[in-house]
Amino acid sequence: MEITGQQIIAVPVQDVWNALNNPEVLKHCLPGCEKVEQISPEEFHMLVKAAVGPLRASFKGVLRMTEVKPPNSCVMNFEGQGGAVGFAKGLSNVELSEVPEGTQLSYTAKFQIGGKLAQVGSRLIDSVAKKMADDFFKAFREQMATVEVADASTSKALTVALGVAHGKELDANAPNLLPAPNVNLPAPTSDTPPHDNEVDDLLGKSKFSMPTVPTWWLAPAALLGALIAILGSRFIH
């Protein structure tokens, strides 16, 4: 069986690529995902719980990245075991390309299923897969938007901190006027004593007031491995 799709992500290619390496995203963006563990730079283990009729079953998945060509493409081999419910294995290709809107992410997954999963019709599996992928991308975009807002707030806080350090009151809503790299700031005069402690406090508060979430989020390559293992389980009775 084969599943394909494309999505436009409104951030640069490199940022989307970086998101592929963050295992925490599945806990936030994939329903039922309880654990993701990065064993090595190329291997992820995960645990997903899904409903099987009136019962719930645990699915263990393994993802291995091969043919990695950062920041444009990679191949991911995956296996998922759900005990008596069945298994799935295969590979997915993920390609990132620059477009005017940001990044176009294209994915193709080819896989085999066995056990009770094999009793589910291919059309139903395809429909469920697309629905879950859509839900994943919605959560993915929301998480990235949250981070962008946090980054903007931090930038304003840093601007205000530098203004305080040099005896100036800055409007937090004014344009970002952070000095360019390698520009020497004027030394404080006797009328404007240094406030190093105040600056350190402000910078510290700015840094730690950001949401306690990863900076970027895992893109759908990791989704595919866990996804295939649970596609039909919700419809098996």
Enumerate domains of the chain plus CATH numbers: 2-144+215-235 (3.30.530.20), 146-208 (no CATH)
Divide the 237 residues of the chain into consecutive groups of 10 and give the mean pLDDT of each group: 84 78 69 80 81 60 88 88 80 92 88 76 69 76 64 50 49 46 46 43 35 30 46 39
Q: What is the pLDDT of residue 145?
A: 66
pLDDT digits (tens, 9 = 90+) for 61-79: 888 888 889 999 988 888 8
Q: How much is the pLDDT for 87?
A: 81
pLDDT at 96: 92
pLDDT at residue 14 in the model: 85
Residue type, 73: S
> What letter does residue 192 receive in the DSSP assignment?
S
Chain-centroid distance of CA 97 in Å reads 17
**Token digits for 119?**
């009793």
pLDDT at 192: 45
Instruction: Output b/e per residue, 161-179; b: 16+ Cβ within 10 A.
Output: bbbebbeeeeeeeeeeeee
pLDDT at 50: 65
In 41-147 the beta strands, taken as DSSP E runs, fall at 43-52, 55-69, 73-81, 87-99, 102-114
Q: Which of 111, 55, 122 is nearest to 85 (CA)?
A: 55
pLDDT of residue 94: 87
pTM of the model: 0.59
pLDDT of residue 98: 96
